[in-house]
Structure formats: structure tokens, C-alpha cells
């Protein structure tokens, strides 16, 4: 966690309005938000700079990597918890997403209370005694 002891969250979302709304909701919940990014490549560039505690990842991203491919790359770099968010719920997509072992998978629209519960679960799971 950062120096203010706030949980840092990196949002990877390619729909600007959705990213803005989710960032505002996260800040209202008391989390520190990193600058949202719209592509998997950008997320991987920001990871070592932002050092997020949790990543909220849209499955369908613009660019040459979707959220699941990006999550594979994130996993190779370390154990940062990932929460997937998707506008689609096809079985094939869900199976690919589950293979990453995310904290949760949500289909849009996501209720803030559900998101907050998933974030708290992610943080509990990664705390070391």
C-alpha cells in the first residue's frame, strides 16, 4: 500500500465514460486510484510505476491484447490480485478468464458494493501473517 495507507487500484478499461464512473466510485469508497489505462500494453507499462494493490481489468480491450492475455502477463510479473469486468458473458470467455484464477469476475454493470466486497477479499487473500 502507498504512503497514505490507501489501497491503490489500477483500472484497465477502454470505455472512457465507464472508466471515469468507476474511478469516481472507487475514490468514494476510499481507494487511491491510479490513472486509468485503456490497453493491455499500457497496463503492463504502468504496473511497475503505479504498484497497484489490486487490478480491475476489463476483458474486452482495444489493442492487440485482451484483458485475459494482459492478466497472463501480469501474473508472470507477480501476484497482484485481478478482478475481471466484462460486458459479455460467453462461456468461452468466462472459462478463459477463470483459468487466470481472478478474485472475481463481474458482468457490467457492476454494483459498487459487490466491487468493494471483491476488493476487500483480494486484500485479505494477499495479506501475509
pLDDT at 57 over 50: yes
pLDDT digits (tens, 9 = 90+) for 76-88: 999 999 999 998 8
DSSP string, the chain: --TT-PPEEEEE-S-HHHHHHHHHHHHHTTPEEPPPBSBHHHHHHHHHHH--SEEEEESS-BSS--HHHHHHHHHHH----EEEEES---HHHHHHHHTT--SEEEESSPPHHHHHHHHHHHHHHH---
Decide if 75 contacts 55 (C-beta within 8 A).
Answer: no
23-49 average pLDDT score: 95
The CATH architecture that domain 8-122 belongs to is 3-Layer(aba) Sandwich (3.40)
10-23 average pLDDT score: 94
pLDDT at 129 over 60: no
Domain segments of the chain as ranges: 8-122
| Cell numbers at 19, concatenated | 472508466
What is the rounded CA–CA span in Å between residue 48 and residue 99?
A: 24
What is the rounded CA–CA span in Å between residue 72 and residue 79?
A: 11
Rg (CA), the chain: 13
pLDDT at 2 over 50: no
Amino acid at each position: 500500500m502507498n504512503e497514505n495507507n490507501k489501497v491503490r487500484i489500477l483500472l484497465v478499461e477502454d470505455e472512457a465514460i465507464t472508466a471515469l464512473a468507476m474511478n469516481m466510485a472507487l475514490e468514494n469508497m476510499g481507494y487511491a486510484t491510479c490513472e486509468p489505462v485503456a490497453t493491455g500494453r499500457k497496463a503492463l507499462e504502468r504496473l511497475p510505476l503505479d504498484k497497484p494493490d489490486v487490478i480491475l481489468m476489463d476483458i474486452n480491450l482495444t489493442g492487440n491484447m485482451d484483458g485475459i492475455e494482459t492478466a497472463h502477463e501480469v501474473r508472470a510479473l507477480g501476484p497482484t490480485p485481478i478482478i475481471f469486468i466484462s460486458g459479455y458473458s460467453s462461456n468461452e470467455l468466462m472459462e478463459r478468464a477463470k483459468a487466470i484464477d481472478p478474485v472475481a469476475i463481474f458482468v457490467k454493470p457492476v454494483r459498487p458494493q459487490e466491487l468493494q466486497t471483491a476488493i476487500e477479499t483480494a486484500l485479505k487473500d494477499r495479506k501475509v501473517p
